[in-house]
Structure 1
Amino acid sequence: MSDALCFLSIAELSARYADGTCSPVDIVRAHLTRAARLEPKLQAFQLIDEDGALRAAAASAARWRAGRPVGALDGVPLTIKDNVDVAGFPTRHGSRTSDDAPAETDAPVVARLREAGAVILGKTRLPEFGWKGLTDGPLHDQPTRNPWNLAHTPGGSSGGAAACVAAGIGTVAFGNDGGGSIRGPASFCGLFGLKPTFGRVPHDKHEGPFGTLVAGGPITRSVADAIITLDVMARPDDRDWFALPPPPAGWLAALRPRLRDLRFAYAPELGGVAPDAEVRRVVEAAVATLAAQGARITTLGPIIDPLRPSFEAYWLAGFAKRLRAIPPARHDEMDPQLRRLAEQGLAVGIEALLAGEAARAALGRRLGAVHREYDLLLTPSMPHAAPTVGTIYHTDAYDRWRDGVPYSLPFNLTGQPAATLPCGVTHTGLPVGLQVVGPRFAERAILEACLGIEQALGVVPPAARLRGLASEPRSGCGPRANLTG
C-alpha cells in the first residue's frame, strides 16, 4: 500500500485524514521512506528534512484529530526548489559559489504553504542558477534523472521538483519558471505544471533582467491539485514590489471543465521552430480528440518571429549580472558553459538591454492581438521528448533557442500564464505535453480548459508508467489510524 499512499491526491489525503484512516504522520513517513529508497537513483534532492517534516506532520495530525485543520493543504507533503529560501537551510542555487549559510526567513511562498499546514519534505535540485533546461551541474556528482526512464533527464531548471512528483515523492512541488523551468520538466515527466501570470505568486528577490521573467507555481499530478495549491501560493506578501493585487476570495472556486465554449487557437510552430515528428503526432492526435469532443480549434501559423535575434543579448546580460556577484577567484568553480556565456554577457550594454525591453513589449502586443480573437492558445509544450542524461545544453546538438525554450520563453517575456499537461507518450514511452496559454490574469480560464482536456484525454498517470524504480514493500495505514503522530 505504500506506493498507493504516495500517489494520493490532495482531496484523497484530506478525506483520509478527516475519517481517521490515515494520519499525516503515516503519509509523510511513507514519502520519506520512498525518498530514501529512490533518491540514490533519482538524485533529485538538495536536502531532505526528515526531522522537520515529521514535526510538521505531527502538528498537522493534532489539528486533524481536534477537527481543526487549517485548510486543504494541511498535512500534504511537498518539496521546494533550492533557489527559494526555506528558513534554517542554505539556498544553494545549484552552485558551489553560493552562500552556504542558512536562510533566516522563509520566502513568501514558503511562508504561505507553512501557514496552510503543508509539510516540507526538503529542497530539490536545479542546474547552477537555473541557467539551463537540464538538471546537472558542479554542485553534484550525478545528474538528476527522469522517473519514466532513468536514462533520460527530467529537464530543468525545476528538474528535481518534477522528478520527485513523478516518482511519488511529495504530492506537490514548488517550482519557478523564467523560460520554461516549470513547463519543460512537467512535460518531460508527464505532469501538470502551471506558470502563473508574472506577479501572481509573490517572491521577494527579483534580480537583473531575469527578475521580471520568473514566476513561481505548482507542479502536480493533476489539475485539481494545482488549483488547490495555487490558491495558497497566490496569497499576498508585501515583500514583493512586483506582486499583483491579491486575488479576491474564492477566485478559484467552482472551476469546471470547459472545452466547447472557449475559442482555441492551435499553433504547432512558434518563431520558426517546429516539433519533431513524434511530438507532432502525439500533440495533433490530442488536438483532434479535443475537436471531436466539441472544442472550437483554429490552426494558425508560427504567430511570432524567431526569439534569438531579439533576446540573446538580454539572456546573456542576466548571466553577466550573476557573474559580477561572484568573486573572480571562484569563477573556476562554476559550470564552464555558464561561465562562458556570462563572460559574453559582460559586453552587453544598456542599448541592447533597452532593445530587449522594447522587443518584449512588441511581443506582448503581437500575442495580445492573438488573444483578441482566441481565448486560449494551444502549442506543444516542448519540441522533443526528454533527451538523455548527459546531453550538453546549448550546443549544435541541443540548442537553447531551437530545442530548449521555443514554446515556453515567449510567455515569460510577456508575463502571460501558461500550463502544460500530459497528452500522450512517444513510441518509446516518454511523455509529451500540451501547452495551454492565456492572456495575462487568465489562470481561471486556463485551469478550466485544462480540467476539460484532462477529462477528454484520460492520460495514463505517471505511477502506471514509471520505469527503473524498485518495487515497493507493502505497508500502509491501518483502519482508524492513530492521529496523534
Structure 2
Amino acid sequence: MKSRSSVPTSLDDLTGCECLELYRTRQVSPVEVIDDCLSRIDASNPRLNAFCLVDHQEARSDARASEGRWMKGEPVGVLDGIPATIKDLTLTRGWPTRRGSMSSSADGPWLDDAPITARIREAGGVILGKTTTPEFGWKGVTDSPVYGITRNPWNPDLTPGGSSGGAGVAAALNLGFLHQGSDGGGSIRIPASFTGTFGFKPTFGIVSQWPASAMTTLSHLGPMTRTAADAILMMNVISRKDARDGYAGPAYPGLEVNPAKTLKGLRVGYSRDLGYVKVAHDIQRITDKAVDQLLALGAEVIETNPGFADPVEVFATFWFAGAARILSRMNQKQRQLLDPGFLEGAERGLRITLAEFQEAEAMRFELSALMARFHEDFDLLVTPTMPIAPFPVGRNVPDTSYTGWVDWTPFTYPFNLTQQPAASVPSGLDNQGLPVGLQLVGARYSDAAVLAASHTIESRLGHLSLKRNNFSATVP
C-alpha cells in the first residue's frame, strides 16, 4: 500500500465512501479496516451486545481476497472490502438466523442468502456478522430470550431502541459502515433516533425481501449508517431486484452521493405533533431548530398536519395478525419458550375476525389516499422521529402511562401502513445529552428525493459522534 500520511491515525471514524477512496488510492487495505472493526467489536460487544454472531475467520478471508482485487485495480463491485452487517431476522448462507427466539434452532443447513444479503456479497461487501434483535422483531427495544439485552452506547443503562437495535449500536460505534435494518413499525427509525445515526425505510417493494416477513406489507428493509452518504451508497446496491420477491416495486433510479447545497424549490409540511402526539419539550425545541435550518437552506416550510387520526388500532390489527401467523406454526413446546409479550400479542391476533381485518384494510387504504393527496402539495412531511428520549433497558415501555410499545413511537408506524419512504436524520442532543432524530417522509417511490434532502440537511446539521473509548457522548 502507499504512504498513509493523509490517512487518519484511527480508522474508526471513516465512512464507507471515504474508505472506498482510500482503497482506490491504496492508502488503506481492506485487511486493515476489517481487522480494526473486528478488534473494536470484540472490545465493545460484551458490554453493549450489538452482535449475536461475528465470524472473524470468514471476514478476514474475504478482506484478504478484496485486498488482492484492489491491488490489481479490479474491485468486484462498488462495495468491495466495505464492512457490513445483517440483522438476525434476515437469512445468511452458512450462518444461523435465530430471529432472537428460543423457539428456533441454530441447526442448519443454512443454504440461502436473503436478497439483501446476496446483493451486498455480490458488490464485494464483507459481512462481519449478525446484529441483535428482539424475538421476531416484535417490539421497539432490543432484548431477547436468546441473546439478552442490547444497550445504548450513549448511556449503557438505556435502550438503543429496536427492533434493529443491534444495527443502530453498530452504526453509532462504526463497527462496520453499512448495516441492514428492517422496519415494520419504526424498527429502523427508532434506533436511528435513539443512537444518533441515519436510518432509511424505503418505499415498500424497493428493496426485495424473501422469505416474506410475517408482517407482510408492513415490513421494509433498508440501511442504517452513520451518514446519509453511506445510506445512499448502500441503497444503490440493495435496491437491485430479486426474482424471489413477488411484491417488488419499480426500479430505484440510484443517486449520487454529493449533497446539493440548497433545498430551494422543496415544499415541506412541518407537523410538530401530527395533531395528537405529546412531544417532550426539549425534543420539540431541537426539532424546531432543525426545521429552521431547512428554511435557511431555501426550502419552503409550512406548519401543518396531514389530517389523520391516530391509526394505532389499524396498525395493531395488522401487527397482531402477523404475530398470530408465526404462533400458528409452532408446537406447544415452542410456544412455552416465547417472550411473554410476543405470546400475548400473537394470541390477541388469533382472535381477530376476518371482518375486522378487512375493515383495517379499508382504513389503511384511506390513510394511504390521504397521504397521497398531502404530497400533491408537499414534497416532504417533516416530524420529530421520536417524542421521547431513550429510557432504561429491561422494559418494553418507558413507564406505566404506556400500555404497549407502539404507544411511545407514534410518529413512525403510520408510514408503514402507507408504505412511504421515511428517514431519520440526527438533529441534535436533548437536555440529557441524548440523540434526537428528525423524520423526513416522502410520497411513495420518492426514495431518491428523501435521501437527497436528508443528505443536504445532514450537511447543515452536522453529525453526532461518540467518544467510543468510554461510550460518553460529544457533538463535534
Shorter-chain-normalised TM-score: which range? over 0.9
Question: Aligned match of 2:125 in 118, 122, 129?
Answer: 118
User: Paired residue for 1:137?
Assistant: 144
> How far apart, in 2, do the equivalents of 1:311 and 1:109 lie?
26
Q: What does residue 73 of structure 1 align with?
A: 79
SS at 1:100 equivalent: coil
1:207: how far off?
4.0
**Does 1 or 2 have the higher relative contact order (CA < 8 Å, sep 6+)?**
1
- Secondary structure of the residue aligned to 2:290 is helix
Letter in 2 for 1:348: I
Residue 182 in structure 1 maps to residue 188 in structure 2: yes
Check whether the contact 1:271–1:406 (CA below 8 A) recurs between aligned residues.
no
Distance change in 2, residues 1:165/1:177 (3 Å): same
Query: Are 2:405 and 1:427 aligned?
Result: no
Is 1:12 the counterpart of 2:18? The answer is yes
Q: Could you list the runs of 4 or more consecutive aligned residues of structure 1 that deviate by over 4 angstroms after TM superposition?
A: none
Structure 2 alignment gaps of length 5 or more? 1-6
Residue 253 (str. 1) matches residue 266 (str. 2): no
Q: Percent identity?
A: 42
**2:229 maps to amino acid:** A
Given that residues 132 and 393 in structure 1 are in contact (C-alpha distance below 8 angstroms), is that contact kept between their aligned partners in structure 2?
Answer: no
Q: How does 1:178-327 map to 2 (within 5 A)?
A: 178-208=184-214, 210-248=215-253, 251-253=254-256, 256-257=259-260, 258-270=262-274, 272-301=276-305, 303-327=307-331
TM-score normalised by length of structure 1: 0.92
Q: Distance in 1 between matches of 2:106 and 2:202?
A: 30
- Report the CA distance between 1:229 and its aligned residue: 0.6
Instruction: Report if aligned partners of 1:175, 1:219 keep a CA contact under 8 Å in 2.
Output: yes
Say whether 1:109 aligns with 2:116.
Answer: yes
Distance 2:195 2:202 in 1: 19
Q: What SS class does the counterpart of residue 6 from structure 1 fall into?
A: coil
The one of 172, 177, 189 equivalent to 2:178 is: 172
Once residues 452 and 157 of structure 2 are traced to their aligned partners in structure 1, the CA distance between those partners, rounded to angstroms, is 35
Q: Secondary structure at the match of 1:46?
A: strand
- 8 Å CA contact 1:6, 1:171 repeated in 2: no
Inter-partner Cα distance in structure 2 for 1:47 and 1:271: 42
Moved more, 411-420 or 11-20: 11-20
CA distance in 1, matches of 2:443, 2:267: 13
CA distance 1:108–1:20, change in 2 (3 Å):
same
1:12 CA drift (Å):
1.6
Which 10-residue stretch deviates more, 11-20 or 425-434? 11-20
What secondary structure does 1:415 align onto? coil
1:374-393 counterparts in 2 under 5 A?
374-393=378-397
Q: 1:440 to 1:359 in 2, by over 3 A?
A: same
Q: Which TM-score applies when normalising by structure 2?
A: 0.93
Q: Which whole-Å CA distance do the structure 2 matches of 1:457 and 1:91 have between them?
A: 37
SS at match of 2:161: coil
Once the two structures are superposed, residues 286-312 of structure 1 have per-residue CA deviations (whole angstroms, 9 ceiling, x without a partner) of 112322342211001362211223332
Which of residues 93, 101, 113 in structure 1 aligns to 2:99? 93
Of the candidates 157, 164, 178, which is equivalent to residue 151 of structure 1? 157
2:3 corresponds in structure 1 to none
* Deviation of the 1:395 alpha carbon: 6.9
1:404-438: per-residue Cα shift (whole Å, max 9, x none)? 33111111111110001100001111000000000
Q: Distance in 1 between matches of 2:132 and 2:213?
A: 20
Question: Which digits, 9 at most, give the CA deviation of each residue in 1:6-63, with x for residues without a partner?
Answer: 2211222112212222110110000001000110111111100111101111111011
Cα separation, 2, equivalents of 1:301 and 1:225: 31
Residues of 2 paired with 1:2 and 1:179: CA distance?
38
Q: Residues 424 and 99 (structure 1 numbering): CA distance in 2 closer, same or farther, change over 3 Å?
A: same
Q: 1:308-345: per-residue Cα shift (whole Å, max 9, x none)?
A: 23332332211111111111122121111111121121
In structure 2, C-alpha distance between the alignment counterparts of 1:296 and 1:47, rounded to whole Å? 46
Residues 52 and 132 in structure 2, CA contact (< 8 A), matched pair in contact too = yes
5 Å-filtered alignment, 1:334-373, equals 334-373=338-377
Counterpart of 2:10 in 1: which secondary structure? helix
Distance in 2 separating the partners of 1:225 and 1:389: 29
User: CA distance change for structure 1 residues 402 and 63 in 2, over 3 Å: closer, same or farther?
Assistant: closer
Judged with a 3 Å threshold, the aligned counterparts in structure 2 of structure 1 residues 2 and 123 are, in CA distance, closer, same or farther, namely: farther
Report the alpha carbon displacement of residue 174 of structure 1 after superposing the two structures with TM. Answer: 0.5
Deviations 1:337-383 (A, max 9, x none): 11112112111111111111111111101111110100111000011
Given that 2:315 and 2:417 are in contact with CA atoms closer than 8 Å, whether structure 1 keeps it comes out as no
- 1:455 corresponds to: 459
Post-superposition offset of 1:149: 1.2
Q: For the residues of structure 1 that align with 2:425 and 2:276, how far apart are their CA atoms? A: 23
Using the TM superposition, give the Cα deviation of residue 202 of structure 1 relative to its aligned residue in structure 2, in angstroms. Answer: 0.6
Distance 1:457 1:407 in 2: 21
Q: How far apart in 1 are the matches of 2:315 and 2:114?
A: 29
